Amino acid sequence: MRLNRSFFLVLFATIFCGEMTYAQHLNLPMNYNLTQQLEMQVLSSDSGAYFHSAVRPSVQTFVSPTFYAPVYNDTGKYYYAFTEKLFQKNLLSVEEKDVRLVADPLFNFTYGKTRVEDTLLKISSNVRGVRVAGDITRNFSFETRVYETQQFYPVYLDSIAGAKQTSLGIGRSKPFKGRGYDATMSSGVASFSPSKQVNLQFGRGKHFIGDGYRSLLLSDNMSPVPFFNLSLRLFKGKLHYQSLNTWMQNRIRIPATHSAEALFKRKAGAFHYLSYAVNSHLQIGLFEGAIYKNYEENKGMVALPYDFYLPVIGVPTLLNGLNGVNNSLLGVNVKVSLFKQLVIYGQYMQDDVNKNGFQIGGKWLRIKGLKNSWVQIEYNTVSDFAYTRSTSGLLENYTHDNQELAHPLGAGFNEFLVLAHFEKERYFVNFETLFYSKKYYSSAGLGTNVLLANDLPQEGIFRSKVNYSGIEVGYLFNRKTNMQLFSKYNYRNELVTSSLSENPILKFESFWQIGFRTNLNNYYYDM
């Protein structure tokens, strides 16, 4: 259905815009390794063009092809049609004077085992999907993706997904063969650029604000959401402004319904981000996010206030305050780039008047002799009870579909992580290790679980300390879909203590996987 809507939209554009050569206005994939390669291309260039890397996904309208072409295109020579398709081209491609259409299969086939104490369990992914994208005339582009997923998580992820009643990063799921999850994820976007300074998009997807691996402001951790996005690039690219409207839901059903399956309670989010490039080395961004109720207990569905639709940063907070009827959150993002290789970045988040968080990190890009390689260090901390509200206003918590809109750990944590990516020709190695601690006040995670109200009775003090580490090795086939053959090994160690018990609880799990995938998305399973 979404594919058909996109088709008719671009057909309409073709009829009314006449014959023109096509231009590209698609969103670039949000896979984190690919975005780092894109940033390396920008930093190594002397073109003087500004690239606002904190806004993801990046839209081709605002990025020079000289930056993204080396990341997503393979210019090697191949002598057989089969090897061209495997390593270089889209599976299907149609290109005419004013129309360009491509289609590719999407998949993630993995198999592995996880060990918890003396128990050995299967873990696997069986993901099948398709991507169709196109550019029509000078102003319109579209993309649609559909995934059908069955998967078996490691035990620690199984407990998290089960508590949230969702397939993580995908959405609502149903049980599959006992401990498995069956879910469908669809996304799509129609992109219109009337000029080089303006881009309009509507569709269903994910967004991210920040230069780090995590974001304390807005992350792609959750499932795709319906959205409308206005982006402006002004003053020769030094200023980038984004106004994003989303329509979301809590996983709480509306009572008193005659349907077999009641609708979920609705809410909406308005997210504004203003990024200014002071010079080629320094970028500063201001962020505002506001969650609006679209449902009231005594009224049912209610209209959204007019300020939800105003694409002006600061208006929701000025009208309602940080503790007002809507859940407002403010933030700052800063990035400093040095020597075309070193990036230092950070964020500050303010939620209400007494809850905040900050991030600081650094990346060493383009390691000598390994041009597509980097090492990254990052620290994140967020106050207890951030992103959530009292029982009476719980609908406006900072979530969508039972998933966090910002950091996947929720609130009340300190996290330190180290990431490394090394690539030589088509071979790559990924290393990751992270440590985090949490403090919460009930066995359900009061204070850190943003799905819980912040005024529930406290049961005691609980502390959790986790180390998660892993290594992944693989081989890259096709840059168009980031097609990879890979294998990985991870372990997770957790120590839980409580004021209610003298006996700590130690949980250890190790698991390995092998697989074949197209890797365009981010899934935050490292927690």
Which percentage of the chain shows pLDDT scores above 90? 74
The answer for residues whose C-beta is within 8 angstroms of residue 101's C-beta and 6 or more apart is 92, 93, 94, 95, 132, 133, 134
What was the pLDDT predicted at 326? 84
- How far apart, in Å, are the Cα atoms of 473 and each of 14, 428, 439? 45, 6, 34
Tokens of 207: 């967004």
Alpha carbon distance 443, 279 (integer Å): 49
Q: Which run of H or E residues covers position 159?
A: helix 155-164
Round to whole Å and give the CA distance between 246 and 228.
7
Residue 527, domain member (yes or no): no
For 224-281, write each residue's pLDDT tens digit. Answer: 999 999 999 999 999 999 999 999 998 878 876 656 567 888 999 999 999 999 998 9
Average pLDDT over residues 112-124: 93
Q: Which domain holds residue 222?
A: 2-518
Q: What is the CATH number of the domain that holds 420?
A: 2.40.160.130
Residue 327 within a domain: yes
Helix (H) or strand (E) holding 77: none
Domain contains 351? yes
Average pLDDT score over residue span 8-32: 61
Task: Summarize the confidence of residues 142-163 as an average pLDDT.
Answer: 95
Residue with tokens 């939620």: 351
In a domain, 526, yes or no: no
* Residue 338 predicted with pLDDT over 60: yes
Minimal CA–CA distance to 381: which of 404, 403, 351, 349?
Answer: 349
Supply the DSSP symbol for 499: T
Residue-wise pLDDT for 368-420, tens only, equals 777 889 999 999 999 999 999 999 888 899 999 999 999 999 999 999 999 99
Q: Does an H or E element contain 16, and which? A: helix 2-17
Query: What is the number of structural domains in the chain?
Result: 1
Residue 455 has pLDDT above 80, yes or no: yes
Cα-Cα-Cα-Cα dihedral of 514, 515, 521, 523, to 10°? -30
The answer to whether residue 193 sits within a structural domain is: yes
- Residue 46 gets the label, from left (phi > 0), alpha (psi -120 to 50) or beta, of alpha
Residue range 61-67: average pLDDT?
88
Residue 394: predicted pLDDT: 87
pLDDT value, residue 366: 86
Nearest alpha-carbon partner for 67 in 54, 50, 84, 55 = 50
Four-CA torsion 64, 67, 68, 72, nearest 10 degrees: 150
Burial grade of 254 (CB within 10 A; 0-12, 13-18, 19 or more) = middle
486 or 164, which is more confident? Answer: 486
525 found inside a domain: no
Q: Is residue 491 part of a domain?
A: yes
Mean pLDDT within 444-457: 94
Which range is least confidently modeled, 74-83, 109-118, 309-318, 347-356? 74-83
- What's the mean pLDDT when you consider all of the chain? 91
Q: From residue 348, how far is each of 290, 345, 454, 468 by CA, in Å? A: 16, 11, 22, 25
Q: Report if residue 523 sits inside a domain.
A: no
Q: Look up the pTM and report it.
A: 0.92
